[in-house]
């Protein structure tokens, strides 16, 4: 199987989750992990499975204003946040908007604060809806991976992402 994992990340957590998903697929698929800002030359029809994820900002997918807010937060003198090099570039929202009609299998994930989804929102739900509207079939329900209030990935989440990635492949192989 050929798998494309497209992610957007502000402080590195969503990138770490995307990489962990790909590690979970080791030995079962040829997996390519790429930032959304670099995914413009990727043709989804070249892949058997597309996995797309981003951080949850203001209850949903990031947009230019929330990316700018993340950069400002990292620039504060008392901040310990480290901004990803492409954090203010186009993200998952723009990449999905650039795609035409598509088909095939896809999955959506996000990173969000470890709190009730009613309070935090879930970018993965919107990503999943956009993937379905484009013509993809979701291989699994959208998934969230949790960060703490200091924006660090919660313990065990990277391992859980790897297991989720493996389960996605196993589900797709059985179809």
**Segments making up each domain of the chain, as ranges:** 2-173
Superfamily covering domain 2-173: Flavodoxin domain (3.40.50.360)
Q: What percent of the chain has pLDDT over 90?
A: 94
**pTM for the structure as a whole:** 0.96
Using one digit for the tens of pLDDT, what is the confidence trace for 141-156? 999 999 999 899 999 9
- In angstroms and rounded to an integer, the radius of gyration of the C-alpha atoms of the chain is 15
Q: What residues contact 119, with CB distance under 8 A and at least 6 apart?
A: 113
Q: How far apart are CA 24 and CA 46, in angstroms?
A: 21
Using one digit for the tens of pLDDT, what is the confidence trace for 77-118? 999 999 999 999 999 999 999 999 999 999 999 999 999 999
């Amino acid at each position: 199987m050929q798998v494309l994992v497209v992610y957007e990340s502000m402080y590195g957590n969503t990138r770490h989750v995307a990489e962990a998903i790909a590690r979970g697929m080791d030995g079962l698929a040829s997996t390519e992990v790429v930032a959304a800002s670099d995914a413009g030359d990727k043709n989804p029809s070249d892949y058997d499975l597309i996995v797309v994820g981003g951080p949850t900002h203001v209850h949903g997918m990031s947009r230019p204003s929330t990316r700018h807010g993340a950069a400002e937060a990292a620039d504060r003198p008392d901040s310990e946040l480290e901004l990803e090099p492409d954090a203010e570039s186009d993200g998952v929202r723009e990449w999905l908007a650039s795609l035409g009609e598509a088909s095939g299998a896809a999955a959506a994930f996000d990173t969000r604060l470890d709190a009730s989804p009613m309070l935090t929102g879930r970018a993965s739900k919107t990503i999943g809806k956009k993937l379905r509207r484009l013509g993809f079939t979701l291989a699994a329900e959208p998934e969230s991976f949790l960060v703490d209030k200091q924006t660090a990935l919660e313990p065990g989440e990277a391992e859980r992402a790897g297991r989720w990635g493996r389960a996605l492949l196993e589900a797709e192989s059985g179809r």
